[in-house]
Structure formats: C-alpha cells, structure tokens
Amino acid sequence: YFRELIEILAISRNQKLPQPGEESQVLELLIQRDGEFQELMKLAVDQGKIHHEMQLLEKVVEKRDNDIQQLQKQLKEAEHILATAVYQAKEKLKSIEKARKG
C-alpha cells in the first residue's frame, strides 16, 4: 500500500515542477489505503474476539467431557453395586424356597 505512495512522492520530488492533480491523487490514494487499513484492523479485532470465544467454549466442552466421564464412572459403579445386590437377593430367595421345602 504505502509503497505506491512513496513511489509517487519520490517521483514528484525528483521533478522540478509538481504535475497538476498530483497532490490530490496522492491524497486520494492515502485516504483509500487508510480505509482499507481500517477495515483490516476491524477484521483482525473481530477475528481475535472470535478466537477468544472459541477458546472459552473449548474449555467449557473440556469441562463437560470431564463431567460426563465422571458420571459414566459413577454409573458403572452403581450398576455393579446393583447387579451384586440383585444376585444376592436371588440367592437369598433360593435359600428361602429351599428352607420352606425342607
């Protein structure tokens, strides 16, 4: 961007008399480049905000994954305890039935 400006300014300095409209051309180019630069800066800021939000969401997802893993572990433990209790209850019923028959 600024290379064009510098080239135009260098050419105008090397010439003894400035060409008509040259100053306005440089000014227009400078205004145009400034607008483009401002748009790029806004885009960079927006992308930075999006990146930050994504990092926060990734941390939330990671925490939720850990919570889910903990719940799965607790569920497996509860399932094991329940299976053991059901087995013991069946065995107790079998022994009660034997005692009644005996």
pLDDT in tens, 27-80: 787 788 888 899 999 999 999 999 999 999 999 999 999 999 999 999 999 999
Look at residue 22 in the predicted model and tell me its pLDDT. Answer: 65
Residue-wise pLDDT tens digits, 1-14: 667 767 766 666 56
Q: Please state the pTM of the whole predicted model.
A: 0.55
Q: Which helix (H) or strand (E) holds 76?
A: helix 22-101
- Rounded CA gap, 53 and 65, in Å? 18
Structure tokens at 63: 């925490």
